[in-house]
Copies of this chain bind each other. A is one copy, B any other.
Amino acid sequence: MSEKLLEKLYRDYIDCLNDRRFEDLGFFVDKDAVHNGQALGVGGYRAMLERDIQQIPDLLFQIELLIIKDHFVASRLRFDVTPNGNFLRLPVNGQKVSFTENVFYRFNEGKIVEVWSVIDKTAIEAQLKF
């Protein structure tokens, strides 16, 4: 797969998340997908996203930076959101927070097979008012 097509596919995946079209998730995510070392499969991956959206109803993935090489995608995602309770064990409770996620994906045959994600928790802590 060309890097051009992989970029299109990745942007379609992000649109799928932002549109909450989880019935399409299996088109983008491998049935044996691994996320931060956990073998979630597409079912577990969907469950993770559904939990995220329950915690953060206005969750919107915004791509800030995209680096694509061979079958790897590196993406810097930006979030401007209002988690409704605890998020990453922080008492956000409906405060608006902005933070980033630096995330790497390995694709195989057009599907995400492995994800390495780090969320900037330090940035969220710095914004919280107690």
Residue ranges of A at the interface with B (Cβ–Cβ < 8 Å): 3, 65, 67-69, 72-74, 76, 88-89, 100-104, 116-122, 125
Q: In the complex, which residues of chain B have a beta carbon less than 8 angstroms from the beta carbon of A88? A: 122
Q: Summarize A's interface: helix, strand, loop or mixed.
A: strand
A5 CB to nearest chain B CB (Å): 15
| Copies per assembly | 2
Cα(A69)–Cα(B121), bound, Å? 27
- The reply to whether A100 and B118 form a contact with Cβ atoms under 8 Å apart is yes
Please, could you name 27 A-B residue pairs with CB atoms under 8 Å apart, sorted by A? Answer: A3-B69, A65-B72, A65-B116, A67-B67, A67-B68, A67-B69, A67-B72, A67-B104, A69-B69, A74-B74, A74-B102, A74-B104, A76-B104, A76-B116, A88-B122, A89-B122, A89-B125, A100-B116, A101-B118, A102-B102, A102-B103, A102-B116, A102-B117, A118-B120, A119-B122, A121-B121, A121-B122
